[in-house]
């Protein structure tokens, strides 16, 4: 019960990894705040969490509405006194070629995956520092480790998150702020269904690779364990994680493989 009575705020909690994280935290009797822009799905997740904990609070949050984050955070602090753990899990993926993607789609993905995430982090951070410390996690992707076909804006946003949160970790070490960046590979979720195509519309298809990925539940267990062990980074997935090491140590081989692997 490492997280018992800890106040945990999870964004993107209405499905996939976020939902699985909520269930795992609920099993440890945490005080949960679950957010997304899908209210009915959040309420479904809340019912699941109530099987394990009596405290799971639903909070509608559109991660792109940056101007509302300060007031939302203040209300939560007023209610709970603190936020012990912030899990920045909200995000959206992409399935489109660079040459076919208009700039407004790139901007939309950056607003969701990068600017919304760091804006929320910046509103919560002062309260954590005032409280003597806290834990901030960000869900990136192995596409945050390297570029990959059909994911140019998504990969760029995840690379940006990496730079931001590594800097945050270095700057706030003395304030007892701990930072984790999680790099999931192929996790069996609906992320490819909701990924934006070249027109900014949902891709609407389950990728073959996604469909054979590890479960969101298994991912969430590894995620929580990484927080408990105060890891700086955690890679989560299966055989696809080899690409991270191939990219690092055998870059020429990586580029050849990246051209041949089916990206959907």
Residues serving a catalytic function are 154
Secondary structure (DSSP) of the chain: -TTTT-EEEESSTTSHHHHHHHHHHHHTT-EEEEEES-HHHHHHHHHHHTTT-S-EEEEE--TT-GGGHHHHHHHHHHHHS--SEEEE-----B-B-GGG--HHHHHHHHIIIIIHHHHHHHHHHHHHHHTT-EEEEEE--GGGTS--TTBHHHHHHHHHHHHHHHHHHHHTGGGTEEEEEEEE-SEESSHHHH-B-TTSSB-----HHHHTSEEHHHHHHHHHHHHHTT-SEEEESSGGGHHHHHHHH-HHHHHHHHHHS---
Secondary structure (DSSP) of 89-150: -----B-B-GGG--HHHHHHHHIIIIIHHHHHHHHHHHHHHHTT-EEEEEE--GGGTS--TT
The DSSP letter of residue 30 is: -
Give the three-state DSSP class for 205: coil
Q: Are 85 and 3 in contact (CB under 8 A)?
A: yes
As given in the structure block, the two tokens for residue 97 are 């070629």
């Amino acid at each position: 019960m490492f997280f018992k009575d800890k106040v945990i705020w999870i964004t993107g909690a209405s499905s996939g990894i976020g939902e699985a994280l909520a269930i795992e935290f609920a099993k440890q009797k945490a005080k949960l705040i679950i957010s997304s822009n899908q209210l009915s799905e959040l309420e479904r997740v809340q019912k699941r969490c109530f099987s394990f904990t009596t405290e799971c609070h639903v909070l509608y949050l559109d991660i792109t509405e940056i101007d509302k984050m300060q007031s939302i955070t203040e209300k939560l602090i007023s209610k709970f006194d603190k936020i012990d753990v912030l899990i920045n899990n909200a995000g959206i993926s992409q399935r489109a070629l660079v040459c076919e993607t208009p700039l407004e789609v790139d901007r939309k993905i950056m607003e969701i995956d990068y600017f919304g995430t760091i804006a929320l982090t910046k509103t919560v951070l002062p309260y954590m520092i005032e409280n003597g410390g806290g834990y901030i996690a960000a869900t990136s992707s192995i596409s945050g480790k390297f570029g990959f076909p059909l994911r140019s804006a998504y990969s760029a946003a995840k690379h940006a998150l990496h730079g931001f949160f590594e800097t945050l970790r270095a700057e706030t070490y003395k304030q007892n702020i701990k930072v984790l960046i999680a790099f999931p590979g192929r996790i069996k979720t609906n992320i490819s269904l909701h990924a934006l195509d070249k027109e900014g519309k949902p891709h609407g298809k389950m990728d073959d690779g996604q469909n054979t990925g590890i479960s969101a539940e298994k991912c969430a267990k590894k995620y929580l364990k990484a927080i408990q062990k105060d890891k700086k980074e955690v890679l989560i997935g299966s055989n696809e994680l080899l690409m991270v090491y191939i990219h690092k140590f055998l870059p020429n081989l990586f580029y050849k493989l990246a051209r041949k692997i089916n990206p959907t």
